[in-house]
Structure 1
Amino acid sequence: MRVNWDYIKLTLLSITVIGLYGFADHRSKNKKVSDVSIKFLGDNNLYLTETSVNKLLIQNYGALKNRTKEQLALNTIEEVILSNEMVKNAQVYLTINGELISKIVQRKPIGRVEGISKFYLDDLGGRMPLSKHHSARVPIITGKITGKSLEDAYTILNYINEDDFLRKNVIGIHIEEEGKYQLKFRLENFVVNLGGVENLNEKFKNFMAFYAKASKDKSLEKYTTVSLEFNNQVVCTKI
């Protein structure tokens, strides 16, 4: 009887590979977390600290260091981090060295609502709680706060943040009523009656033309209100 050595070699090789894989898998599952690292991504990292994230994880998941990989549920850890209202996005993974890394993107406030309730409006239009760690330098939103007026304030803030001059100089949005919004500037005594959020590009284009001329004439301090409510017009009220 002729022995098929190639078949035997292949079988032995397969058994060896399976054994090594099983050993490596067992070793991997039982490898313990050597360290826990919290990394904040981007430049908006003022509202949540590494200490507060670690405390959140311990309270909701327990201590992570020295746990085995088999005892970890990375998706659950991500959900715990995402439950914090300052977090926009989170990614958790374990390195081959046993380091558990959490990469976190914090939410970005673009306006601060000062009403019966106080909170930030973030860059996605959502409500974001104030932080005990940092107060954002963003325009203050006051007046008649409603769901619709906040949507409009978000639209106005998005436009303002796209323009370098407006972003640096607009410090407040006052809501007189839905569809009637007033802007306050950092260095000027006048207020700008914006009206509604329609035709913002045209309104601000007219305002910038007025501002450039009034700055040149050194007459900005003479005005109390600048109205952009009327089609293609800038109507000013003097002191």
Structure 2
Amino acid sequence: MKKIKWADVRLVLMIGVMIFLYSFSTMRNEARKIVKTDVEFTGENNPFVTHETVNNLLIQNFNGSSSIRKDKLDLNSLEHTLDKNKMIEKVEVYATIDGTLKALVTQKTPIARVSNEKGSYYIDYQGEEMPLSDTYTARVPLLSGEVNEENRAGLVDVFKKIHDDDFLKKNITGVQILPTGSMMMTNRNYDYRILFGKSINVDKKFNNYKAFYQHSLRDTLVGQYKMINLKFTQQVVCTK
């Protein structure tokens, strides 16, 4: 008859107790009810979507109930519902131990506002259309003219450069798409227009413009310029 190794017995008992406690705590946690919701916005804090809107979308998925068991939650369904909102880029939904249903919401980032005969809307950082908000107006350049599948990618590239550059973001106020496909821009501080051309050599053109602007601060005649031509990447042509 083999001698019982009490050390092995104690180890088995400890493992059994741990499994029991884990299962018990898991069951209790799943049986807990969601007692409140908490919405947190990440990234740029632009209130295109309000806390109330997100809360209402969450509550609608509870079929009007003020509380629901955690094990009855379909988090993927909740995320999918919120993702369908055209103001939201992505969302993460999870339940905490204390019964809070938490939603981490990242809103879309508009980089231009389109205004033409087809209507008015934003273009977001991903190049997608984004509706205007009833609660907040983004300070982004106004884009006029025809936006289509042929020029959209180039336009998005231009506006992303503007958005990501502190100087351009403050300076460029509008872009008009000409019938030729070239872009004409307006600036915040002077009356001259900027003939940017088409969406090629974008970095070089903007660097040329920033160099011109720095130089123009020392030029008392800058207020007399009517046109700043950036189409030629080797030089900036100014006309009065």
The alpha-carbon deviation at position 160 of structure 1 amounts to 1.9
| Pair 1:94-2:95 in alignment | yes
Aligned to 2:141: 139
> Measured at CA, do residues 194 and 12 of structure 1 come closer, stay the same or move farther in structure 2, by a change above 3 Å?
closer
Distance 2:180 2:69 in 1: 56
Aligned to 2:38: 37
The alpha-carbon deviation at position 150 of structure 1 amounts to 2.5
Give runs of aligned pairs for residues 158-169 of structure 1, distance below 5 A. Answer: 158-169=160-171
- The unaligned stretches of length 5 or more in structure 1 are none
User: Aligned pair count?
Assistant: 238
Aligned to 2:119: 117
Distance 2:69 2:45 in 1: 33
TM-score (norm 2): 0.87
Distance 1:35 1:61 in 2: 12
| Pair 1:79-2:80 in alignment | yes
Distance 1:64 1:178 in 2: 58
TM-score (norm 1): 0.87
> Measured at CA, do residues 231 and 108 of structure 1 come closer, stay the same or move farther in structure 2, by a change above 3 Å?
closer
Question: Contact 1:31–1:69 (CA<8 Å) still a contact in 2?
Answer: yes
Within the candidate set 157, 165, 183, 1:155 is matched to: 157
The alpha-carbon deviation at position 68 of structure 1 amounts to 0.6
Question: Contact 1:33–1:64 (CA<8 Å) still a contact in 2?
Answer: no
The alpha-carbon deviation at position 195 of structure 1 amounts to 0.6
Aligned to 2:208: 206
The alpha-carbon deviation at position 23 of structure 1 amounts to 3.0
Question: Contact 2:95–2:102 (CA<8 Å) still a contact in 1?
Answer: yes
Aligned to 1:58: 59
> Measured at CA, do residues 180 and 61 of structure 1 come closer, stay the same or move farther in structure 2, by a change above 3 Å?
farther
Distance 2:136 2:208 in 1: 36
The alpha-carbon deviation at position 135 of structure 1 amounts to 0.6
> RMSD of the TM alignment (CA)?
2.4
Once the two structures are aligned, what percentage of the paired residues are identical?
34
**Of 7-16 and 107-116, the range deviating more from structure 2:** 7-16
Give runs of aligned pairs for residues 12-51 of structure 1, distance below 5 A. Answer: 16-51=17-52
> Measured at CA, do residues 209 and 99 of structure 1 come closer, stay the same or move farther in structure 2, by a change above 3 Å?
closer
Question: Contact 2:46–2:136 (CA<8 Å) still a contact in 1?
Answer: no
- The unaligned stretches of length 5 or more in structure 2 are none
Aligned to 2:68: 67
**Of 165-174 and 3-12, the range deviating more from structure 2:** 3-12
Distance 1:14 1:210 in 2: 74
Distance 1:75 1:101 in 2: 13
Question: Contact 1:44–1:108 (CA<8 Å) still a contact in 2?
Answer: no
The alpha-carbon deviation at position 142 of structure 1 amounts to 0.3
Aligned to 1:223: 225
> Measured at CA, do residues 13 and 190 of structure 1 come closer, stay the same or move farther in structure 2, by a change above 3 Å?
closer
> Measured at CA, do residues 205 and 101 of structure 1 come closer, stay the same or move farther in structure 2, by a change above 3 Å?
closer
> Measured at CA, do residues 14 and 208 of structure 1 come closer, stay the same or move farther in structure 2, by a change above 3 Å?
closer
Distance 2:161 2:218 in 1: 25
Question: Contact 1:44–1:107 (CA<8 Å) still a contact in 2?
Answer: no
The alpha-carbon deviation at position 234 of structure 1 amounts to 2.2
> Measured at CA, do residues 2 and 191 of structure 1 come closer, stay the same or move farther in structure 2, by a change above 3 Å?
closer
**Of 159-168 and 31-40, the range deviating more from structure 2:** 159-168
Look up the SS of the partner of 1:54 in the other structure. helix
Distance 2:23 2:104 in 1: 31
